[in-house]
Amino acid sequence: MLTWLNHRFFGYLFVEMAGFSPERFLNMCSVHEIEVWEVIHSGHTYRFFMTVPGFRKIKPLVRKSKVRLRILKKFGLPFFLYRNRRRKYYAAGFLCFLMILYALSLFIWDIEFDGNQMYTYDTLLKFCESEEIRYGMKKSKINCDVLEESLRTRFPEITWVSARVSGTRLLVKIKENEVLSEIPVKDDTPCDLIAQKDGTITSMIVRSGVPMVKVGDEVSAGQVLVSGTLPVIGDSEEIINTHYVHSDGDITARTEYHYNRKIPLFKTIDVETGRVRKGRYIKAFQFSFLFMRPRPDGTAWKQTMEEKQLHLFENFYLPIYVGKITGNEYISYERPYTKEEKKELADQMNQSFQKKLLEKGVQILENHVKILDNESLCQISMDYVTEEPLGRQEALKMQTTEEPEETNNSNERN
Amino acid sequence: MLEETKVKAASALKLPKDVVLGEVLISFLGRHSVVIENYRSIILYTDCLIKLQAKNCRVIIGGSRLMIEYYTNEEMKINGYIKSLEFD
């Protein structure tokens, strides 16, 4: 490779030799360390390649060995430049190209984050922008150490950051903390348990607090199920004091869910005609250019786009994007839903609601789906009878007369 | 006398003889290419015969379409259809 470059750079010749003692000439070349290669004997002549610096030194050797040399062809950079010496604009264009390339290499054209799982690309990019690090900024203005430091302080879950500039890219590698950074503290503030939904209590286990309802009771949303206020009643049946506790318990209730969905009677269907229109576009800074045949009047097309950023090598990204556009023609028309389709739609809705309920920890006991047809629209109603844990913690208002020390004591007792 | 001592010393010390004695070293790659090391000079070169001078012998390579791919002071590579190799 190195010799190849060397030959091209200094130029080399294809030479024909004829004469009295060609072997002597070849021997003298090797003695004088003149590079000669691919020697072919054909007829009465020898043909070989030799370098230009070598050719300048062989005059005495030619005289001694009484051979005649004829240059058949010239290769390499010096001859290329000589041939194109009049093409000034060509050279200017080439120089311009090199200069633009150099100028582009002074800026950041791509920011990449690697290893982020908790924080999205956009979050990190926005943060970088607030730190004055953005796409298209000067490379010399980036201080990687400062960026690393600020990323660590701003995002506590990031335990390790490495930022570096490679080519025209800013590469940020991130390691996130995989274990919980803090242990959840047990909540001990006094509170009530409140029903978040209407229902009938089916079971109740109260660990602390005063139960206000019993199994079989119907409760409505907002009703207190377990009270965190413990009244201390004296002998004369008057309230001497009140203790406040953090009420806690497992309460399940039978609840109901009703959903109603209206769907239009007619369904829009898009059918692809099979005609495809392809195009390309190129985008640099705020300029973009589209190569695509114009859309024929009265047709509708669905278009998809693929965009790629140009890069010279792995890390030399350029601010030029090329994209491919594919358009598929379609015709849309409307038709009424068939019975099967309605049923399928209802099934789908049912499935999605069931999934949502199960995710909330709700147990489904009964499930009814009804399709109600009407002249103007179609209704799908879904009714569920379910069982779910009830009780939401809500801080209770303490009376101001209460002394804090006593509250703490009561907590210990409970 | 000196030559004999050299040979003995080289075999006693198990030194490579091509280095110590300057003997010609020829390696073939199939029948289409041969590398000759430690030669002195080219005596004759045509497309069917190449005669080389080594330290104390001559090497004659016969064949057809013989071409010297490259040659330096010590080493030469010949490509072509090689038929024979003789010492003279």
- Whether B67 and chain A come into contact, CB under 8 Å, resolves to yes
For residue A157, the model assigns a pLDDT of: 83
The DSSP bridge pattern shows strands A199-208 and A36-42 to be: unpaired
State the Cα–Cα distance between residues A49 and A39, nearest whole angstrom: 7
Of A23, A33, A39, the CB nearest to B43: A23
Tokens of A175: 């390691």
Residues (pLDDT < 70) of chain A are 180-181, 399-414
Are A27 and B42 inside 8 Å of each other by CB? Answer: yes
For residue B66, the model assigns a pLDDT of: 92
Of A23, A33, A48, the CB nearest to B44: A23
Are A23 and B72 inside 8 Å of each other by CB? Answer: no
Name the DSSP class of A197. Answer: S
Distances A302 to A89, A279, A308 between C-alpha atoms, Å: 45, 13, 20
Contacts of B44 in chain A (CB under 8 A): 23
Residue at token pair 């348990």 = A193
Contact (CB, 8 A) for A173 and A159: no
Name the DSSP class of A191. Answer: E
ipTM of the complex: 0.85
**Chain B residue with Cα closest to A50:** B70
The four Cα atoms B60, B66, B70, B75 give a dihedral, to 10 degrees, of -20
For residue A271, the model assigns a pLDDT of: 86
Contacts of A48 in chain B (CB under 8 A): 68
For residue A399, the model assigns a pLDDT of: 64
Query: Which of A12, A14, A26, A47 to mutate to test binding with chain B, by most B CBs within 10 Å of its CB?
Result: A26
Kindly report the nearest CA distance between residue A24 and chain B, in angstroms: 7
Kindly report the nearest CA distance between residue B74 and chain A, in angstroms: 9
Distances A154 to A88, A323, A347 between C-alpha atoms, Å: 55, 36, 47
> Average pLDDT over chain B, rounded to whole?
88
How many Cα atoms occupy the beta-carbon half-sphere of A284 within 13 Å?
Answer: 7
Name the helix (H) or strand (E) containing A42: strand A36-42
**Chain A residue with Cα closest to B67:** A40
Of A23, A37, A42, the CB nearest to B47: A42
State the Cα–Cα distance between residues A214 and A202, nearest whole angstrom: 9
Kindly report the nearest CA distance between residue A77 and chain B, in angstroms: 22
Name the helix (H) or strand (E) containing A259: strand A248-264
Distances A221 to A224, A225, A253, A397 between C-alpha atoms, Å: 9, 10, 12, 19
The four Cα atoms A58, A61, A62, A63 give a dihedral, to 10 degrees, of 130
* Of A66, A10, A3, A62, residue with least CA distance to A37: A3
Contact (CB, 8 A) for A378 and A342: yes
State the Cα–Cα distance between residues A211 and A14, nearest whole angstrom: 106
Give the length of chain B: 88
State the Cα–Cα distance between residues B21 and B56, nearest whole angstrom: 10
H helical segments located in A245-376: 339-359
**Chain B residue with Cα closest to A42:** B47
Kindly report the nearest CA distance between residue B27 and chain A, in angstroms: 19
Residue at token pair 């290669």 = A37
Q: Count how many pairs of residues, chain A against chain B, have C-beta atoms within 8 Å.
A: 42
Of A30, A31, A37, the CB nearest to B69: A37
Which residues on chain A place their C-beta less than 8 Å from a C-beta of chain B? 22-23, 26-27, 30-31, 33, 36-42, 46, 48
Query: Which of B58, B60, B69, B70 to mutate to test binding with chain A, by most A CBs within 10 Å of its CB?
Result: B70
Q: How far is CA A205 from the centre of its chain?
A: 47
State the Cα–Cα distance between residues A279 and A294, nearest whole angstrom: 10
Are A23 and B42 inside 8 Å of each other by CB? Answer: yes
Exposure string (b/e) for A121-149, b if CB count within 10 Å is 16 or more?
A: eeebeebbeeeebeeebeeeebebeebbe
Are B46 and A41 inside 8 Å of each other by CB? Answer: yes
Of B44, B67, B73, the CB nearest to A30: B73
- Whether B71 and chain A come into contact, CB under 8 Å, resolves to yes
Question: Which H, E and C letters describe A71-131, residue by residue?
Answer: EEEEECHHHHHHHCCCCHHHHHHHHHHHHHHHHHCCECCEEEEECCCCCCHHHHHHHHHHC
The model's pLDDT over A349-387, given as tens digits with 9 standing for 90+, comes to: 888 888 888 888 888 888 888 888 777 778 888 888 888
With cut-offs at 50, 70 and 90, classify the pLDDT of residue B16.
confident
For residue A393, the model assigns a pLDDT of: 84
- B4-25 mean pLDDT: 82
B 46-65 residues with CB < 8 A to A: 46-47
Contacts of A50 in chain B (CB under 8 A): none
Of A26, A33, A37, the CB nearest to B45: A26
* Of A196, A190, A187, A188, residue with least CA distance to A229: A190
State the Cα–Cα distance between residues A116 and A122, nearest whole angstrom: 11
Tell me the angle at which helices A121-130 and A144-154 cross, rounded to the nearest 10 degrees.
Answer: 120
For residue A181, the model assigns a pLDDT of: 63
- Whether B15 and chain A come into contact, CB under 8 Å, resolves to no
State the Cα–Cα distance between residues A301 and A272, nearest whole angstrom: 9
Contacts of A46 in chain B (CB under 8 A): 45
Residue at token pair 């500039």 = A165
